[in-house]
A = this chain, B = another copy of it.
Amino acid sequence: MPQKLYFTPGPSQVFYTVPFHLQNALKRDICSISHRSKTFMSLFRETRELISELLNLPGHYEVFFTGSATEIWERILQNLVSQSSHHFVNGSFSNRFYDFAQELKMSPSRSEGKAGFEFIDWSVPPEAELISVTMNETSTGYAFDHARLENLRTGNEDALISADVVSVAPSVAIDFKLVDTAYFSVQKCFGLPAGLGIWIVNDRAIDKANRKIANGESTGSYHSLKSLKKYGDKNQTPETPNVLSIYLLNHVIKDMLKRGIKTIRNETIYKSTLLYDLFEEIPILNPYIKTKENQSKTVCVSEIRSDQDRLLEHLNERGIIIGKGYGPYKDTQIRIANFPTHSKEQIEMLVDTIREFHS
C-alpha cells in the first residue's frame, strides 16, 4: 500500500532517517541487549548528552526518560508539588495538567487566557509551589510569549517554573535557564514512534523533591526523581526502558546536529510563514491565533469556514494527511504540523495543493 505524507501534529511523519536507523537497530541487536549492559549504559549517557547539546541545556540540568510526556505531568506533581500549583491554560493540554493536580488531591489554581488571546491576569497565588506554562499548545496552536517567562521568573522567585515543550523542542529556541523543569515526547518534532517521554530538571527541582522526601511525603516509586537520579548517575534506568526508542532518538539527534539546529530553526520559520500566508490568502481559511507573536511555528492552526471534509478528502486522495481541529474545534479548524522532517518542498507542495483545491 502506498505510504502517505503526514502533516498531523503528532504522531506525525517519522523523521526521514528512522527506517534506516530501525534496520541498524535490528542488525545491532538493540532490542535484545540488557539494559544493565555497558552497551546500553553508553547509549544512555550519550543520548542524554546529545539532548543537552541540541537543546543547549545549562550544565546543572539533567535529562530522564519516561513512558510519555503525559506521565511527566504526574511525576512533576508527585515530586515537585506538595499542595499547590498554578497553571497558565490556553488549550486542552495545559488544562489537563491542571486536572491531574486535582486528581492527585492537590489544590491547583489556573489563569485562563481565552484560547488565542493573551492572558489578562499574570498574577500567581503566593502559595503556588510550581508555575506551569505551555510553550506550544498543540490543541490550539498558541505559542507562549517567551518574554513572559522572564517576567514570571522575576515575579515569582520561590516558585519552580515548568515548561511544556512537547510540540516545539527543538524547532524553536527556548532559554531553559528560565525554567526549572521541562518535558516533551518524541512523536512530535523528533518524528519518532510514540512511547518515550523526556523529562528535564535542574538542581532546584531535585532539591524540592528531596525536601518532600525529608518531610515524609511520597514522591512515587520507580520514577520518582530520587530513583531516576539514583539509576541515572550509574547511566541506568529504574525499569527496562524503551531501549529501541532511546537508540532512535540518539541517532535522529545526531542527524539533526549534522544538519545544524540553526538551519532547522530557520527552515521552521520559513515553512510556517508559507502556511500562515496561505491561511490569510484563502477566504475559507483564517489563522486561529490572531496575535503574530503567539502563532505557533510548529503547529499551525487555521479556522475553516466550510468544506473541511472536502479539503481533507482532496488532500487524502493525493496522499496527504493533515490534522482536524482539537476537541471542540474538531470540525471548524485544521492543524498542520511543521516539524523538522517536513521539508520546504513538502510544505510548498502542501500549500500548492490546498490552493489548487480552493481555485
Contacts and interface: CB of A to CB of B under 8 A. Distances in A.
A123 interface: no
A172 to B, nearest CB: 21
Contacts of A238: 70
A90 B67 CA distance: 28
A15 to B, nearest CB: 10
B74 A105 contact: no
A280 B34 CA distance: 28
Interface residues of A, number: 61
Contact of A104 (B6, B14, B74, B218): B218
A243 B11 contact: yes
A162 interface: no
A125 interface: no
Contact of A26 (B12, B19, B73, B74): B19
A241 interface: yes
A84 interface: no
Contact of A194 (B18, B35, B70): B35
Interface stretch (A109-117, A219-227, A265-273, A291-299): A219-227
A154 interface: no
A194 B30 CA distance: 10
A178 to B, nearest CB: 27
B195 A100 contact: no
Given A66-B67, A239-B68, A239-B70, A6 B29 contact: yes
A196 interface: yes
A359 interface: no
Contacts of A185: 240
A224 B68 CA distance: 15
B194 A242 contact: yes
A220 to B, nearest CB: 7
A4 B26 contact: no
B27 A1 contact: yes
How many copies make up the complex? Answer: 2
A171 interface: no
Contacts of A245: 195
Given A195-B196, A238-B70, A240-B185, A105 B11 contact: no
Interface string A96-122: 000110011100000000000000000
B22 A8 contact: no
14 contacts: A1-B27, A8-B34, A11-B243, A13-B32, A22-B26, A34-B323, A67-B195, A67-B242, A68-B239, A70-B240, A71-B222, A105-B216, A105-B218, A195-B244
Interface of A: 1, 3-4, 6, 8, 10-14, 18-19, 22, 26-35, 66-71, 73-74, 99-100, 103-105, 185, 187, 192-196, 216-218, 220-224, 238-245, 321, 323
Given A22-B26, A194-B243, 7 more contacts: A3-B29, A11-B35, A12-B32, A31-B194, A103-B218, A103-B221, A242-B242
Listed from nearest, the 7 A-B pairs whose CB atoms lie closest are A67-B67, A195-B242, A70-B239, A31-B193, A100-B221, A193-B244, A6-B32
